[in-house]
Amino acid sequence: MPVTTLLKTPPPWADSGDDADWAVVGCHCTLARNFSDFVFPARCNEGELCAVASRVRTAVEGALAGLTAAPPASDAVETAAFAERWLVTDAWPALPERARTLHLSPAQDLAVSANTGDHLLLRAALPGNRLEDAWARASQADDALSALLNYACDDRLGFLTARLDMTGTGLRAGALLHLPALAARDALGGLARDLAAHRLALLPAAPGNPPEHGGALRAGGGHLCLTAAEIEPLPAQCLLSTEDGARTAAAPAAGDLYVLHNTDALGVPEEELVLRVGHAARQAAGLEEQARNVLARDRERLEDRIARAVALARGARLLGFREGLVLLSTLRLGRALDLVSGPAPGRMARALAETQAAHLCLMRGAERTALSVAAARARYFQELLTE
């Protein structure tokens, strides 16, 4: 099966069936596990990485019958597509080809990969706030694998992980939140502080691959342009994932997307971590709902903002990734408040995945240049609004 076939199924976190809970785009439970007889991947040589990958492959094939090996990626863009779907973390594409391994469930809601930070990473991702379901899925697969693999585990400290903030359960439970109204009302600082007191992080999602992320490229320009499109370099036109969820930064969130996750993993059982994150996601969604109602009182300004976004999405010939996220955020807010017709919020979450660089190259035949991808993105938005 070629990678392009895999892309026809939307990533599970971006395939929301329940549009009622609009603020929570998707959730994940990620478990990090290591083998006791290998050093962690950052210290492994290539031979050791290959041996780890081989062991993971054998164990998954022996223990998890429902999972199949992901199709081999023929080039860097196909490899990046896996990262853009959050099936693997941002470290995976950089691994030597023989050291990579990825197994997926048919719906792509369960993924097992090797050698990213830890020897084995198991991720269950689902749309909306279904963290308990995601945990059940991840835990079941973990049980099956642990019968075949000798995990590095200490009687007192639990599972030993490369990151010290994951030692213990090795679990990151997280959610991707869309909080445009709270962001507009500048109310996220307080919420983040409240959550931090409960050892939860709420951080802005950041596009791109920072090591290669240069300045934006201004397309067009000249006196006749009102505003030129800000086109990022190709590697920055995506939203990659880490163990915590989407990559984050201190900068303002791209498209009002925020990553919520637990920051501790030792001394607390997995179920409690999952409940805590799920509860916080519901709390944030409730506050977002209230903030939307307050925003809706200033209807004229809000309608203007949304109409401008619609006009830009319909008329732009080039769209940068960050600009696209801002448009999606505004359109989604407009749809949530019934101020604009068009695709449902779940469909817009899918657009978030499909307007990333590798997806546009593979699904819509864009050339592998920043401008060509920006043009394909603009066409994607035009089609989205006519659906």
Partner 1 sequence: MLCQKCHRNPATVKYAEVVDGTVVHQDLCAECLETYQRDASSAFSLGEAKPGIRPPGGAPRQAPEGRGPARTCPSCGDALARVLDAATAGCPACYRHFGAEIESVLEGLHRGMRHRGKTPRVDDGRARLHAQLQHKRTLLRSVLGLEDYEQAALIRDEIKGLEAALRNSGRELD
> Of 268-307, which residues contact partner 1 (CB under 8 A)?
268-270
Identify which of residues 252 and 267 has a Cβ nearer to partner 1 in the complex.
267
Binding flags for partner 1, 256-275, as an x/- string (CB under 8 A) = -------xxxxxxxx-----
Reported residue count of the chain is: 387
First vs last Cα of the chain: how many Å apart?
A: 29
Q: Binding to partner 1 by residue 248, rule CB under 8 A?
A: no
242 sits near partner 1 (criterion: CB under 8 A)? no
CA dist 288 and 282 (Å) reads 10
Residue of the chain from 19, 39, 187, 305 that contacts partner 1 (CB under 8 A): 39
Asked whether position 22 contacts partner 1 by CB under 8 A, the answer is no
Which ranges of 245-386 would DSSP assign to H, the alpha helix?
270-296, 299-315, 321-336, 345-354, 357-364, 370-386
Given candidates 1, 2, 9, 37, which one binds partner 1 under the rule CB under 8 A?
37
Q: Which of these, 57, 91, 55, lies nearest to 72 by C-alpha position?
A: 57
In the bound state with partner 1, the residue whose beta carbon lies nearer, of 151 and 282, is: 151
230: three-class secondary structure by DSSP = strand
Judged by CB, which is closer to partner 1: 135, or 321? 135
**Residue 202 near residue 244, CB atoms below 8 Å:** no
Among 154, 212, 298, 304, binds partner 1 (CB under 8 A): 154
Q: How far apart are CA 246 and CA 335, in angstroms?
A: 24
Over the window 111 to 140, marking each residue x when it contacts partner 1 by CB under 8 A and - when it does not, the resulting string is ----------------------------x-
Using alpha carbons, list the distances in angstroms from residue 26 to 250, 257, 288. 21, 11, 16
Of 14, 351, 329, residue with least CA distance to 182: 329
Taking the C-alpha atoms of residue 150 and residue 38, their distance in angstroms, rounded to an integer, is 11
- Residue 143 binds partner 1, judged by CB under 8 A: yes
Which residue's CB is nearer to partner 1, number 142 or number 244?
142
Q: How does strand 118-127 pair with strand 217-218?
A: unpaired
Distance of closest approach, residue 74 Cβ to partner 1, in angstroms: 30
| Binding segment toward partner 1, per CB under 8 A, in 13-21, 151-159, 350-358, 373-381 | 151-159
- Residue 101 or 330: the one with the smaller Cβ distance to partner 1 is 101
Tokens of 267: 């001394």
If you search the block for the tokens 């994951």, which residue do you land on? 166
Residue 242 Cβ vs partner 1, minimum distance, rounded to whole Å? 13
Task: Kindly report the number of other CB atoms within 10 A of residue 300's CB atom.
Answer: 7
Q: Does 163 bind partner 1 (CB under 8 A)?
A: yes
Nearer to partner 1, 72 or 267 (CB): 267
- The CB density around residue 36, as the number of other CB atoms within 10 Å, is 12
Map residue 189 onto helix, strand or coil.
helix
- The two beta strands, 171-178 and 24-33, are antiparallel
Nearer to partner 1 among residue 119 and residue 292 (C-beta)? 119
Asked if 21 contacts 285 with a C-beta cutoff of 8 angstroms, the reply is yes
Which of residues 115, 167, 329, 355 is near partner 1 by CB under 8 A? 167
Identity of the residue, 18 or 154, whose beta carbon is nearer to partner 1 in the bound complex: 154
Residue numbers 172-201 binding partner 1 by CB under 8 A: 199
Structure-token match 């969820």, residue found: 245
Report if residue 382 touches partner 1, rule: CB under 8 A. no
Comparing C-alpha atoms, which of 165, 148, 149, 145 is closest to residue 157? 165
Q: Which is nearer to partner 1, 31 or 254 (CB)?
A: 31
Site string for partner 1, 54-83 (x = CB under 8 A): ----xx--x---------------------
DSSP 211-249: GG--PPEE-S-STT-SS--EEPPGGGSS--EETTEE-B-
Tell the smallest beta-carbon distance from residue 57 to partner 1 (Å): 12
Residue selected from 19, 57, 71, 146 as contacting partner 1 according to rule CB under 8 A: 146
Q: Write the single-letter amino acid at 179.
A: L
Residue with smaller CB distance to partner 1, 34 or 355? 34
Question: Is 159 an interacting residue with respect to partner 1 (CB under 8 A)?
Answer: yes
Residues that bind partner 1 (CB under 8 A): 34-40, 42-43, 48, 51, 58-59, 62, 139, 142-143, 146-165, 167-169, 171, 199, 263-270
